Amino acid sequence: MSDTALHTRTRRKGTWLGLVAWLAGIVFFLPIAWMALTSFHSETDAATNPPSWLAPLTLDGYREFFGAGGGASPWPSLINSAVASVVSTLCVLLLALPAAYALSIRPVKKWTDVLFFFLSTKMLPVVAGLLPLYLFARNTGMLDNIWLLVILYTSMNLPIAVWMMQSFLAEVPVAVIEAAQIDGAKLPTVLSRIIAPIAMPGIAATALICFIFSWNELLFARVLTSVVAETAPVFLTSFITSQGLFLAKVCAASLVISLPVLAAGFAAQDKLVQGLSLGAVK
């Protein structure tokens, strides 16, 4: 076989595999695309077989979801979710940053043991502590209180954040810090001028990932909240039983509630794998 023939063959194979990759991407994305399309269809067009791809578009599904048809408004649950996710993420950062500092830049003795303790708490299943937490909340009047979720979400995400930030702070060269200290820089200056610029992208990604996990959480929210502190995923559970023709509404609801996660996830795309593997993979 001549050299050019081999070349065209490998190139043709490359195009073919590229097409397969595209096909796989489309297959995986199809349910989401279909969900988006259905959310803009009328309820009758949404429930046809074969599917109506080209039915006229309408915002009725979204109007229904936001309570135009007399159903419960999703806004309180969306606000609760936002509060629980944002506040718990801030708490996580507040606790994890100093901890990560003490585990990387100025490490304590046996710092790897401490790091692995944090990781092991993540491996303790949520259900293992659910009942005592429920009994505790009931006896202290904390049931259906968004701040209880803030505390629990903080504990849920803290190990991930400590691991991620430890790996980001470890990238800060110690020599630079020492040089600055010799030049008389105090700790606040070192933190803001040297450590922050290097670690900032990592800290941002950590925050986004913590936000995603808090926003997605169902089990705690389902057991520990009911009316007042209901979060968005709990609101979604009201769609579990079929209510006649409601596909457009379900799709609109699922899409609206997933939007913050999709946005945060794509923003953190490059660091996503590092966060999900608890910093083990870079």
CA-CA distance, 265 to 270, in Å (whole number)? 9
Examine residue 186 and tell whether it contacts other proteins (CB under 8 A).
no
Among 12, 25, 193, 196, binds other proteins (CB under 8 A): 25
Examine residue 147 and tell whether it contacts other proteins (CB under 8 A).
no
CB 123 within 8 A of CB 58: no
Among 1, 5, 123, 227, binds other proteins (CB under 8 A): 123
Examine residue 251 and tell whether it contacts other proteins (CB under 8 A).
yes
Examine residue 2 and tell whether it contacts other proteins (CB under 8 A).
no
Examine residue 192 and tell whether it contacts other proteins (CB under 8 A).
no
CA-CA distance, 83 to 90, in Å (whole number)? 10
Which 36-75 positions form the footprint of other proteins (CB under 8 A)? 38, 46-51
Examine residue 1 and tell whether it contacts other proteins (CB under 8 A).
no
Minimum Å gap between C-beta 226 and other proteins is 12
Minimum Å gap between C-beta 134 and other proteins is 7
Residue 17 phi, psi dihedral angles, 5° rounding = -65, -35
Examine residue 159 and tell whether it contacts other proteins (CB under 8 A).
yes
Count of residues that bind other proteins according to CB under 8 A: 107
Examine residue 255 and tell whether it contacts other proteins (CB under 8 A).
yes
Among 8, 12, 20, 226, binds other proteins (CB under 8 A): 20
Among 8, 140, 226, 277, binds other proteins (CB under 8 A): 277
Among 55, 86, 151, 191, binds other proteins (CB under 8 A): 151
Examine residue 155 and tell whether it contacts other proteins (CB under 8 A).
yes
Minimum Å gap between C-beta 237 and other proteins is 6
In the complex with other proteins, the residue whose CB is nearer, 76 or 233, is 233
In the complex with other proteins, the residue whose CB is nearer, 5 or 123, is 123
Which 80-119 positions form the footprint of other proteins (CB under 8 A)? 95-96, 98-99, 101-103, 106-109, 112, 114, 116-119
What are the DSSP calls for the chain, one per residue? Answer: --HHHHHHHHHHHHHHHHHHHHHHHHHHHHHHHHHHHHHTS-HHHHS-SS--TTPPP-SHHHHHHTTTTSS--SHHHHHHHHHHHHHHHHHHHHHHHHHHHHHHTSPPTTHHHHHHHHHHHHTS-THHHHHHHHHHHHHHT-TT-HHHHHHHHHHHHHHHHHHHHHHHHTTS-HHHHHHHHHTT--HHHIIIIIIHHHHHHHHHHHHHHHHHHHHH--HHHHHH-SSSS--HHHHHGGGSS--SS-HHHHHHHHHHHHHHHHHHHHHTHHHHHHHHTTTS--
Examine residue 233 and tell whether it contacts other proteins (CB under 8 A).
yes
Examine residue 199 and tell whether it contacts other proteins (CB under 8 A).
no
CB 88 within 8 A of CB 150: yes
